[in-house]
Amino acid sequence: MATVTTPSSAPGNAALPPVRQYHKFRKTIHFICVLIFVALPFSNLMRFDIPRQRFYVFGQELWINEFAILFFTLMFLLFTIAAASMLYGRVYCSYACPQMIFSEASLAVEDRIRRWVNKHFIQLSAGVRTFASKFLFYASGLVASMFLAFVFTSYFVEPRDLLGRLMTLDIVTAGGIAGAVTTLITFLDFAFVRTRFCKMICPYGYLQGMLSDKQTLLVVYRDGEEKQKACIECKKCVRVCHMGIDIRKSPFQIECIHCGECVEACDEVLAKLKKPGLIHYTWGEQGAMLGSKEEGWLRRIGLRDPKRAVVSFIMLFYFAGLMVALSMRHPVQVRVQPDRATLYTSNAQGETTNKFRFNIDNRGSVDATVAIQLETRESALHLTTDRVSVTSGGSVMETIEVATAPDGLKPGVYSITLHTVSEPGAIKSSFPMTFVMPKKK
């Protein structure tokens, strides 16, 4: 968070701390979040390709059946939300939520357009200026909605594929319909709904109530007794609040997203009167202020009791599990099963054969080959195929035969091992199997 100092609550304090700059800090974080939001689907850092049933995380292409990695990813995200909510309250809402970021941007753009039109077209009537402002705002909102809907849909449909559908004005396929519907919803949201969504629909604010406790970071108004109140009733804290609330009534209002805009507003107003601000980030309603130098660093970063430490530890545990699972992942996965529909059979050359089913998935970005070797003490046994190719992103099911001449072996069951070497990467696997040699008829 922004550089935070701890002003004394005593009015008239000579050593007045600097105004806490949360607005600029939030806008910088918002800008970084927008860059990340736009970059993620194009860089495959985080994307879910529904048509191909692929999940992309940190540049790795995961298949829908890679349960371990998906499990660790989901659990990590779940505990990240839980830990962030428990420690820092609604920090996600105020600093990183796309709905809040674009709602605030929409309000700011509308305000700028209105002021620009009023300044440059003062000769026109008020009605015409209002119409022109609305027209420009809705037009710019439509363009922005198309772009954002494209980015959002790219999280679920490959961006080049989606662009192709857009160029052909495809509103017939699922991807095209999803893009058109998302554009419409995004436009209606930015033009009309905005922060109303946070107040009335979003379940995260309610989830917050369940996860927060007496030590969760809050925005709190602290003033003296009735006769010594430092508040000058300027109401700037109310005017800057995008959620339209008065923080002086209670720090537990469901609409409050803990953005800190009112903290900065009050600091600014009272600094002119050489007084410290009355609104602060604090650890719970009665707790210390954020950044208090009197506390140890663990408490200052929010780890204020064992419960918080445990949740943070579980979050880190799942993150470590995700990293280990990703590092152990091989792009080419080979599975081998004996074909026991028929224990043995004869091939066109009259040899006795046992069949083995190879299922090979190539989850990598380049074509792969799998070399197969037979390990056995019986020199009479040999493979009829020793190489299988799989295109990038493809799957192959191939039946491989281990064969011997009709009188090459005595009747019985022989231990064999099928070794595979996948390229690129020279990934080796071994599959112990048995070869069944029938009695002569």
Give the whole-angstrom CA distance, residue 150 versus residue 156.
10
Residue 420 CA from chain centroid, whole number: 36
Applying CB under 6 A, the span of 6-14, 95-103, 164-172, 234-242 interacting with ligand SF4 comes to: 234-242
Q: Is 245 an interacting residue with respect to ligand SF4 (CB under 6 A)? A: yes
Q: Is 260 an interacting residue with respect to ligand SF4 (CB under 6 A)? A: yes
When binding is defined by CB under 6 A, the residue of 2, 151, 243, 381 that contacts ligand SF4 is 243
Q: Is 258 an interacting residue with respect to ligand SF4 (CB under 6 A)? A: yes
Min CB(86)–ligand SF4 separation in Å: 18
Q: Which tokens is 395 given?
A: 């799957």
Residues 6+ apart with CB under 8 A from 172: none
Q: Is 97 an interacting residue with respect to ligand SF4 (CB under 6 A)? A: no
When binding is defined by CB under 6 A, the residue of 185, 202, 231, 396 that contacts ligand SF4 is 231
When binding is defined by CB under 6 A, the residue of 113, 265, 381, 403 that contacts ligand SF4 is 265
Applying CB under 6 A, the span of 49-57, 198-206, 261-269, 287-295 interacting with ligand SF4 comes to: 261-269
Applying CB under 6 A, the span of 257-265, 294-302, 355-363, 375-383 interacting with ligand SF4 comes to: 257-265
Q: Is 259 an interacting residue with respect to ligand SF4 (CB under 6 A)? A: yes
Helix (H, G, I), strand (E, B) or coil at 327: helix
If the CB atoms of residues 243 and 400 are measured against ligand SF4, the closer one turns out to be 243
Applying CB under 6 A, the span of 56-64, 140-148, 229-237, 376-384 interacting with ligand SF4 comes to: 229-237
Min CB(297)–ligand SF4 separation in Å: 25
Q: Is 278 an interacting residue with respect to ligand SF4 (CB under 6 A)? A: yes
Helix (H, G, I), strand (E, B) or coil at 254: coil
If the CB atoms of residues 160 and 229 are measured against ligand SF4, the closer one turns out to be 229
Q: Is 269 an interacting residue with respect to ligand SF4 (CB under 6 A)? A: yes
If the CB atoms of residues 220 and 288 are measured against ligand SF4, the closer one turns out to be 220
Q: Is 93 an interacting residue with respect to ligand SF4 (CB under 6 A)? A: no
Q: Is 235 an interacting residue with respect to ligand SF4 (CB under 6 A)? A: yes
With beta carbons less than 8 A apart as the criterion, state whether 427 and 332 touch: yes
Q: Is 249 an interacting residue with respect to ligand SF4 (CB under 6 A)? A: no
Identify the H or E element spanning 219. strand 217-221
Nearest of 244, 283, 241, 243 to residue 262 by alpha carbon: 241
Q: Is 257 an interacting residue with respect to ligand SF4 (CB under 6 A)? A: yes
Q: Is 261 an interacting residue with respect to ligand SF4 (CB under 6 A)? A: yes
Residue 347's φ and ψ, nearest 5 degrees, are -95, -175
With beta carbons less than 8 A apart as the criterion, state whether 43 and 59 touch: yes
Min CB(2)–ligand SF4 separation in Å: 13
- DSSP assignment of 86-138, as one string? HHHSSHHHHHT-HHHHHHHHHHHHHHHHHHHHHHH-TTS-HHHHHHHHHHHHH
- DSSP assignment of 377-428, as one string? S-TT-EES--EEEE-TT-EEEEEEEEEE-TTSS-SEEEEEEEEEEEETTTEE
Q: What angle do CA 258, 252, 3 make, to 5 degrees?
A: 30
If the CB atoms of residues 239 and 307 are measured against ligand SF4, the closer one turns out to be 239
Min CB(318)–ligand SF4 separation in Å: 30
Q: Is the dihedral of CA 191, 197, 199, 200 positive or negative?
A: positive
Q: Which stretches within 155-203 are classed as H helix?
A: 159-167, 174-188, 195-200
Min CB(267)–ligand SF4 separation in Å: 8
Min CB(12)–ligand SF4 separation in Å: 15
Give the whole-angstrom CA distance, residue 213 versus residue 206.
13
When binding is defined by CB under 6 A, the residue of 62, 84, 178, 219 that contacts ligand SF4 is 219
Q: Is 162 an interacting residue with respect to ligand SF4 (CB under 6 A)? A: no
If the CB atoms of residues 237 and 381 are measured against ligand SF4, the closer one turns out to be 237
Strand-pair partners of 404: 352
Applying CB under 6 A, the span of 37-45, 124-132, 226-234, 301-309 interacting with ligand SF4 comes to: 226-234
Min CB(233)–ligand SF4 separation in Å: 5
Instruction: Compute CA distances 250 → 203, 222, 254, whole Å.
Output: 21, 10, 10
Nearest of 359, 357, 362, 358 to residue 329 by alpha carbon: 362
Nearest of 277, 300, 283 to residue 222 by alpha carbon: 277
If the CB atoms of residues 78 and 232 are measured against ligand SF4, the closer one turns out to be 232
Helix (H, G, I), strand (E, B) or coil at 277: coil
Q: Is 104 an interacting residue with respect to ligand SF4 (CB under 6 A)? A: no
| Residue ranges that bind ligand SF4, judged by CB under 6 A | 219, 221, 231-237, 240-241, 243, 245, 247-248, 256-262, 265-266, 269-270, 278-279
